[in-house]
Chains A and B, each alone.
Chain A
Amino acid sequence: MASREVVVVGGGITKFAAERVDASVRDLVTEAVLLAVDDAGVDLQTVEHGLTSYESDHFNRQMTLGAILHDHIGMVPKPNVRVEGGGATGALALRTAFAYVKSGLCDSIIVYGGETNGRSVTSATAQQFFSLSSDADWEMMVGGTYTAYYAAMMREHMRLYGTTERQFAHVAVKNRRNAQFNPVAQKPMDLTVDDVLNSIPIAEPYKLLDCSLLSDGAAAVILATEDWAARHSTRWNERPAITFAATGCGTDTMRLGDRPFPYPGLAHFRGKREAARQAYKMAGIKNPRTEIDVAELYDSYSGVELQACEELGFCEYGKAGSLAEDGVFDLGGDLPVNTSGGLLGRGAPVGATGIAQAIEIMLQLRGQADPRRQVANARRGLTDTHAGTGTHCVVNIFERRD
């Protein structure tokens, strides 16, 4: 299979915002696609396959949005497929596109996704929609929301490992600080740990500033074989080649309470560990802490980034909090995490989130990120994306080859 490497030809991302009042979801996706086509240096007419990435029909009161988007960007009558995997939708979309290219089903594919989670409905209704993506008979009707589930997970992590609110507040500060250097980010902020600790409680132990954003936005990426890219991209020789080196996927029970003790119990993301194991094997990674240069992790809540660092093998269980305090995951640290600002700072229009993470890695590996957030000599980057409370997890790995 080595002869059929998958490359990232280019990507585009819109400005993320709490309310992109100037655009419907179809406008947002079209905007991202035009940016991706420009970045890739390709004529979209030559791209062979489409892939629509979006989670929810609820936010836009529109089913089969894929048909509209594919049509809107001039891809008909070429093939299309829609991928949905909850919060992991964008990463699962890229993983699916990887398989399509790797298998020879097509030589080139455009993955596009977007969502209007920010403005379509009130925040309470948005929480309700997301709660519908937990077990609606057994968890949602008893007062369950995702913030509640994650809070219970974090409380257990604190009990088992002594992780502190101050430690995960560091993540909230770091990611919003990084967002200040990303022009598409929704919520750049210059905060202190005390600002986070003193923000209003939402679902204890999580406070307002520990929580990620509801966003409007879109993103798109073009994947292809290297041969296709060399023939169809006018910009292919301008920049180092970025390969889509590996992908992994893991799952867990829908309800937190059904998971076996002691592992994963309530404190761990077993699906992430499994996704990472597969991806590391495919990429030949033995020690992720030293072999990965930059990572975009799914910081739906600040504490989740710490839990993810541990499941991805960046450190032992219970150690991520003190490493975060030591600045290991900061810009300039050993292993910068969420240089884009993450879900906390850049934002998270669900169908676009995993694609946006991949675009940040692409920019970092090309050396094209804003100099204030560029990681020096980044050669391998990872994205970690999950749905639910880790019910569906995807890890994708990208490499610079030159």
Chain B
Amino acid sequence: MATVTGKLKHLPAPDPLGPNPDPWADFREIEVLGLEWTQHYKHSLGKYSRFFLELENRRFFATRCPKCQKVWTPPRPVCPDDLTITGWVELSGRGQVVSFSVLHYAPAMLSFLKTPYVLAYVKMEGADTLFAHLLQNFGDLSQIRHGMPVRVVYNNGPVDHPIMLMAFEPADS
């Protein structure tokens, strides 16, 4: 007898639209496999890198466009409004929640997150765009609201991705 590793099932499949006549009657014997695949990526953070390196120093950076003065966070090396090369600028790390969602399920790569967790869109002090990150230590879910003051908090890792060296927490207004 043959041995197939990863064989999940071998079954007769019905015509999903039934009833017969089934044009595929000769092809209703089905084998289903389980396949495994993991891989390693060498992933450059490119011109975003300083943002992530400064998180290790517990500092929050954005980029400012020298032409239109718009402050982008997450940073952009080029301002898309006028295709001008930007420069780094440090922000206070304080901001206000604009909108948020309360998640009861985490995707596969983030299965370490305790649910419910909160993803917040935050208008950072001094920035013109919104920064999305986890809102931690939120206490009572019903207290989270539009306009709620928050601040960036840092941790020492270890983390899978340097973006996780920071998160948001409620702050005094």
Contacts and interface: CB of A to CB of B under 8 A. Distances in A.
Interface residues of A, number: 49
Interface stretch (B57-65, B86-94, B99-107, B150-158): B99-107
Contact of B14 (A22, A139, A204, A255): A22
A147 interface: yes
B97 to A, nearest CB: 10
Contacts of A17: 16
A266 B16 CA distance: 41
A155 B99 contact: yes
B143 interface: no
A22 B106 contact: no
Nearest to A157: B99
Q: Is the interface of A mostly helix, strand, loop or mixed?
A: mixed
Nearest to A267: B99
A288 interface: no
B131 A257 contact: yes
B13 A124 contact: no
Contacts of A138: 74, 132, 163
Contact of B119 (A14, A22, A137, A144): A144
Interface string A166-210: 000000000000000001100000000000000011111110000
B28 interface: yes
Contacts of B80: 253
Given A22-B14, A137-B163, A156-B98, A127 B132 contact: no
User: How big is the B interface, by class?
Assistant: 35 or more
A363 interface: no
A131 B107 CA distance: 8
A234 interface: no
Contact of A256 (B103, B130, B160, B164): B130
A316 B164 CA distance: 40
B11 interface: yes
A72 interface: no
B38 to A, nearest CB: 12
Given A22-B16, A131-B107, A144 B30 contact: no
Which of B11, B32, B103, B116 counts the most chain A CB atoms within 10 A? Answer: B103
A152 B104 contact: no
B107 A124 contact: yes
A143 B108 contact: no
Contacts of B14: 22
Nearest to A205: B101
Contacts, number: 138
Contact of B32 (A21, A61, A139): A21
B1 interface: no
B80 to A, nearest CB: 8
Given A21-B30, A142-B134, A124 B108 contact: yes
Contact of B45 (A20, A137, A147, A256): A137
A122 interface: yes
B103 A203 contact: yes
Which of A17, A27, A138, A142 counts the most chain B CB atoms within 10 A? Answer: A142
Given A21-B11, A128-B108, A141 B160 contact: yes
A152 B99 contact: yes
Contacts of A204: 101-102, 104, 116
Contacts of B103: 143, 145, 147-148, 151, 202-203
B99 A148 contact: no
A154 to B, nearest CB: 9
Contacts of A14: 16
A320 B83 CA distance: 38
A200 B131 CA distance: 28
A125 interface: yes
Nearest to B160: A141
A238 interface: no
Contacts of B167: 142
B24 A128 contact: no
B17 interface: yes
A372 interface: no
B142 to A, nearest CB: 11
Nearest to A124: B108
Which of B37, B107, B134 counts the most chain A CB atoms within 10 A? Answer: B107
B146 interface: yes
17 contacts: A21-B13, A22-B24, A124-B105, A135-B74, A137-B48, A137-B163, A138-B132, A140-B109, A143-B119, A144-B119, A145-B103, A149-B101, A151-B103, A202-B105, A203-B101, A206-B101, A255-B132
Counting from the closest, the 8 A-B pairs by CB-CB distance are A257-B130, A151-B101, A22-B13, A204-B102, A15-B16, A128-B108, A128-B107, A127-B107
Given A141-B161, A143-B110, 5 more contacts: A131-B109, A144-B132, A148-B103, A152-B100, A258-B72
